[in-house]
């Protein structure tokens, strides 16, 4: 809100100044009190409209890029980050990994406690992970109860350590209504010579499947 009000003030000041300059120096209108009011009022109105347009642009950008429930990135915007990271690694070298995880037995939570409780659990998990992630990590809701993390400059071993920390953090969190919750994780590292987006995701999905098959609440690397 502070930034928004500051933008309004700057926009109004700028447009008022332009209108006064235009009226006095170009149209040669003497700056009497009556002649002064019109350009000032027009400047205030135009500045306010500019600020509103700016705010609407930011809101539309936020809607396009984030998941409305958890306020983290959505699947589409995550794809843009992933494409950029693939391009970076192919061009300059280095490594990155992805961590793909979902909530164990989430359907049971929805069935027993209702979707409103399920939504609160999703937001709670997103908050736990967001607080534990590094600043460079890109975190997104991939769909339903599935989440994904892009970890730049991180090999599979490092991503596995981070995933294990997240697994423990989520298991140790207490959620209202349901109390405890666990998640299963699939981790994989990008292989520049062999991978495209499809193969990278398939390997992460397979690792997640193995984590589920091995009893859930665990991290598997593919």
User: Are 181 and 105 a contacting pair, CB within 8 Å?
Assistant: no
From CA 185, how far away is CA 220, in angstroms rounded?
6
146 is catalytic: no
- In order of 49, 75, 99, 178, the CA distances from 142 in angstroms are 36, 5, 11, 23
**Closest to 217 (Cα-Cα) out of 169, 151, 154, 158:** 169
Per the residue annotation, which of 120, 145, 189, 220 is the catalytic one?
A: 145
**φ and ψ of 157, to 5 deg:** -65, -45
**Closest to 171 (Cα-Cα) out of 214, 125, 209:** 125
Q: By CB neighbour count within 10 A (0-12 exposed, 13-18 middle, 19+ buried), where does 132 fall? A: middle
Residue 134: CA count within 13 A, CB half-sphere: 13
| Active site residue ranges | 145
């Amino acid at each position: 809100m502070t930034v928004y009000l500051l933008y309004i003030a700057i926009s109004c000041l700028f447009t008022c100044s332009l209108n006064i300059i235009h009226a006095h120096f170009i149209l040669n209108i003497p700056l009497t009190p009556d002649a002064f009011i019109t350009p000032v009022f027009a400047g205030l109105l135009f500045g306010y409209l500019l600020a509103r347009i700016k705010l609407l642009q930011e809101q539309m950008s936020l809607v396009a890029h984030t998941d409305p429930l958890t306020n983290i990135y959505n699947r589409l915007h995550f794809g843009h980050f992933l494409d950029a990271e693939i391009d970076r690694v192919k061009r300059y070298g280095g490594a990155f990994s992805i961590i793909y995880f979902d909530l164990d037995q989430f359907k049971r939570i929805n069935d027993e406690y209702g979707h409103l409780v399920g939504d609160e659990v999703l937001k709670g998990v997103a908050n736990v992970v967001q607080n534990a992630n590094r600043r460079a990590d890109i975190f997104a809701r991939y769909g339903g109860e599935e989440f994904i993390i892009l970890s730049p400059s991180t090999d599979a071993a490092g991503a596995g350590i981070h995933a294990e920390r997240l697994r423990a953090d989520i298991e140790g969190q207490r959620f209202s209504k349901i109390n405890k919750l666990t998640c299963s994780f699939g981790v994989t590292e990008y292989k520049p010579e062999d991978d495209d987006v499809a193969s990278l995701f398939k390997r992460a999905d397979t690792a997640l499947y193995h984590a589920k098959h091995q009893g859930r609440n665990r991290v598997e690397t593919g």
